[in-house]
A and B are shown apart, each in its own frame.
Chain A
Amino acid sequence: MLVIAERINASRKAIRAALEAMDAAAIQKEARAQDAAGADYIDVNGGTLPGREPELLCWLVDTVQAVSDKPLCLDSPDAAALAAALPRVRTKPPILNSISLERARFDGVLALALEHRTKLIALCQGESVPAASAEDKVALGAELVERLTRAGIAIGDIYVDPLVFPLGTDSRSAHATIEAIGELMRRFPGVHTTCGLSNVSHGLPARKLLNRTFLVAALSRGMDAAIVDPTDSQLMSTIYAAQAVFGRDEYCLGLIEAFQEGRLAA
């Protein structure tokens, strides 16, 4: 289970302020906390000030690497920003977040992934609208996997994200994502699936409860990565417990270790 830590994202007000002020200490505090909480990758997103994204993404890479050895997940839809930031990465190859079937983005991000031997998050989004039904998600996911592997990306380096839409506007949206995860994992042995959780609960009460419940359902269908807040100890505890329950934690040692290190919120 790959935990991609989501907190350093310009859509959060505190991070946007830190980016505007180039406040390295604020960013590094987030990086250290997520590293300590069990992040496998640290996502960095600097898309707040139009036109400045390449520069800010570079600054985030430098700033986070100064305090954490965790690999990075470079988060931008803009190939130019990714291209600027990639040469500065000193930790092991990053994940590029993300590629989709939109033509310019597909070609631009694919070239970078091949050149820098990175992993890729592949969004189930076509040239027009994002996939809403399970069938559409699977069709777009399959097209992405086929085109990326044909281009030379190893299937194990692909993390398909079937996209999660708010339950608040479509009561069946989460179910469609879960169905798509199951089908993609069945159809493409070796591929990974991931998603961001928080969109599912947009506009609803008890958001963390919904996020955790959705996460367990997605994990049950084989999802093996997630973009989450690792400092949310209840969420991380849910991941440990679910991994054990779904037979992916031999002798339950991951769960036991988390407990013995005081990281399990029972």
Chain B
Amino acid sequence: MSEAIESIKSNVIRGKRKEALEQTQRALAAGVDPAAIMKDALIAAMSVVGQKYSSGEFFLPQMMIAARAMTEVLPLLKPHLVGAAAQKRGKAVIGTVAGDFHDIGKNIVKMMLEGAGYEVVDLGVDVPADKFVEAVRNESPNFVLMSSLITLTMQSMRKTVEALQAAGVRGAIRVGVGGAPLTAKFAQEIGADFYSPDAHECVEACNRLVH
């Protein structure tokens, strides 16, 4: 791997956005393959960050500044990516379910998915079932990902799965759920396809299921 790519990767991991931006500009000007920067610097960096956060080595703000650096570098690459490299890995619709306003976990999953090469449509917080259905109809995603941090709103997840079923779009997507009070057992009970204990695992689950 080139020194330039290694350096961009290291700066993204450390959340140094100014350095990451400058080095990316320089690398592009010097003719470094933008697809390689995407894969070996950005996606690789976010994978390292996800693992470090998952294992407890990294703390929340470090994860956030790394993701911010990544999302700022991304637009520099986009115009240069052609063909297969421009293809998104998949598409996810994400939201915190009705009655719940907690968005930290949801935002982390969103950033990690973007860092892993997915397109993410963020419906925000307090998202009712019919908005998820509408988004599936309009966006044709691979995944619907729901977050809930309080037990009271876990029922909203069940309702959303039921609404997706009733609308006849359930079969076209995989449903993933996450949030502090959730369990794999609950995910199974409400008919979701997978449960992830953290953002890193969610990306891994999407990577497994997208093919």
A contact set with B: CB distance below 8 Å: 10-11, 47-51, 53, 77-78, 125, 128-130, 166, 168-169, 202-205
Contact = CB atoms under 8 A, between A and B. Distances in A.
Nearest to B64: A169
Contact of B61 (A50, A53, A78, A203): A203
A158 to B, nearest CB: 22
Contacts of B186: 50
B155 interface: yes
5 contacts: A11-B180, A50-B158, A53-B151, A166-B104, A169-B60
Contacts of A50: 151-152, 154-155, 158, 186
Q: Which interface residue of B61, B101, B126, B150 has the most chain A CB atoms within 10 A?
A: B61
Contacts of B59: 168, 203-205
Nearest to B183: A16
Nearest to A204: B59
Nearest to B186: A50
Contact of A48 (B104, B151, B158): B151
Interface in B98-154: 101, 104, 125-126, 150-152, 154
A53 B180 CA distance: 17
B180 to A, nearest CB: 6
Q: Which interface residue of A10, A49, A50, A130 has the most chain B CB atoms within 10 A?
A: A50
Given A47-B150, A77-B150, A203 B60 contact: yes
Contact of B181 (A10, A125, A129): A10
Given A50-B155, A203-B59, A129 B101 contact: yes
Contacts of B60: 166, 168-169, 202-204
Interface of B: 59-61, 63-64, 101, 104, 125-126, 150-152, 154-155, 158, 180-181, 186
Contacts of B101: 125, 128-130
Contacts of B151: 10, 47-50, 53
Contacts of A169: 60-61, 64, 104
A128 to B, nearest CB: 7
Given A77-B152, A129-B125, A202-B60, 12 more contacts: A11-B180, A11-B181, A47-B150, A50-B151, A50-B152, A53-B151, A53-B152, A166-B60, A168-B59, A168-B60, A168-B64, A204-B59
Closest 4 CB pairs of A and B: A203-B60, A168-B60, A47-B151, A50-B154
Q: Which interface residue of B125, B151, B180, B186 has the most chain A CB atoms within 10 A?
A: B151
A47 B104 CA distance: 21
Contacts of B64: 168-169
Contacts of A53: 151-152
Contacts of B63: 203
Nearest to B156: A50
A176 B52 CA distance: 30
Contacts of A168: 59-61, 64
A103 to B, nearest CB: 12
A49 B180 CA distance: 13
B156 to A, nearest CB: 10
Contacts of A78: 152
A53 B64 CA distance: 35
A11 B155 CA distance: 16
A48 B61 contact: no
A51 B150 contact: no
Q: Which interface residue of B59, B60, B155 has the most chain A CB atoms within 10 A?
A: B60
A205 B152 CA distance: 29
Given A77-B150, A129-B101, A169-B104, A48 B181 contact: yes
B125 A204 contact: no
A99 to B, nearest CB: 14
